[in-house]
Amino acid sequence: MFGPGIKLFSILGFEVKLDFSWIFIATLVVWSLATGYFPKELEGFTPDIYWTMAVVAMLGLFFSIIFHELAHSLVARVFGLKIKGITLFIFGGMAEMANDPKNPVTEFMMAIAGPIGSFILAGVFYLIGLIGSALGIGQPMVTVFAYLAFINTILAVFNLIPAFPMDGGRVLRAILWHYTGDMAKATHIAARGGHYFGVGLIIFGIASALTGNFVAGIWMGLIGMFIQRSAASEDFRSDVTSVFGKQKVGEYMVDDPVSLDINVKIQGLVDDYFYQFYHDMFPVTDHDKLVGYVTVRDVSKVPLKSWTVTPIGKIMTLSSSDNTVSVDTPMMDALTQMGKTNNGRLMVVQNDRLVGIVTLKDLLGVISIKSQLEKLDRKP
């Protein structure tokens, strides 16, 4: 989901990363607090004070989001789920799970942990503000703590809305999963809630922008788009999981694909393979051992006059863990690999020999047909 980002630190064994989009939201938060919110809440102070308050509040928000995601991550660890790390991005933060919860209890406990953590943090900030006020730490800092208490309450309440992918949507999925025994059906219902909520935010954001609240309206619309797309993505991923389950690549690969020898010239590749089979990619072998693959794009980089003398071994992409899988690789892992590498074809190898090819196009066809049939089976 995210790019490489910036690795900040590790806490309790979880790596915390900062997506570059966070820089935008951090800047926007500081600017809006320093020029709008704090001057209205606390009059009579200099701009330097307001900017200092805004920076401190932004750092407090940074801590709050990490705390929220850390609550998810720690509970996930207790229930045996692996968390790859915590990433802060433009719409908040996300604890990235390496695998799905195995039962609805795990899903429920992990999902509810984040909002509970935010409610607790809101109470802590509120108490610090009260104690600080009694000790005379100054009204600016008291106002900052009051803001952090308020924003954590908003974070908790907003996340409890029963719309996927928010925590409330995951809580809803856990409850539906528990009562129906069907995770895919529960995901579909929760994702549908996320879709409608996202659309509602987009409409409300457009209305706000047209009535003069342009910045808030655009921001609300962007959040709505993110929620809608995330819900659709999770619904699709659930369909994919229900289709393939624990099945292996060997069950869906094309056996004995056409390949060519490393010494074939480009002209031979074009005449005898591209124009004969009309595939845009062919595996390349050397004495029956898979060594790489060649595509139409590779050929397009070579001048036409060199085609008769240039062997494909000079232009091919070498085989690697990015473009190969084994017969026993789980289908879900293969699809994940396709997504990470942006590679729509994976060569299937066994003992360094090519035994098949699995393509995203074929898999999407399987997903479409099977998911439609399974939905028909679920109808009463």
Tokens for 114, please give them. 């984040």
So what's the pLDDT on residue 377? 56
- Residue 379 clears pLDDT 60, i.e. is over it: no
Element (H, E) at 134: helix 104-135
Q: How confident is the model at residue 369 (pLDDT cuts 50, 70, 90)?
A: confident
Each residue of 156-185: pLDDT tens digit? 999 999 888 889 999 999 999 999 888 888
Among 21, 109, 27, 124, smallest CA distance to 71 is for 109
Q: Please report, as a single letter, which amino acid is at residue 340.
A: K
Give percent of the chain above pLDDT 90: 44
Strands 324-326 and 345-350 turn out to be parallel
Is 208:216 a contact under the CB 8 Å cutoff?
A: yes
Average pLDDT over residues 68-75: 92
pLDDT tens digits for 244-295?
A: 877 899 888 988 889 999 999 999 999 999 999 988 899 999 988 999 999 9
Domains of the chain: 6-244 (no CATH), 249-369 (3.10.580.10)
Q: Quick one: pLDDT band at residue 109, thresholds 50, 70, 90?
A: very high
Q: Angle CA(3)–CA(164)–CA(66) in degrees, nearest 5?
A: 50
Whether the predicted pLDDT of 234 surpasses 90: no
Who wins on pLDDT, 245 or 34?
A: 34
What's the confidence (pLDDT) of residue 65?
Answer: 92
Mean pLDDT for all residues in the chain: 87
Pick 88 or 145 by higher pLDDT: 145
Mean pLDDT of 100-122: 92
Which residues, 6 or more positions from 57, have their beta carbon under 8 angstroms from its beta carbon? Answer: 29, 33, 38, 144, 147, 148
ω into 165 cis (within 30 of 0) = yes
Which pLDDT belongs to residue 37? 87
Which range is least confidently modeled, 77-81, 300-304, 354-358, 373-377? Answer: 373-377
Question: pLDDT grade, residue 22 (50/70/90)?
Answer: confident
H or E segment and range at residue 349: strand 345-350
Please state the pTM of the whole predicted model. Answer: 0.73
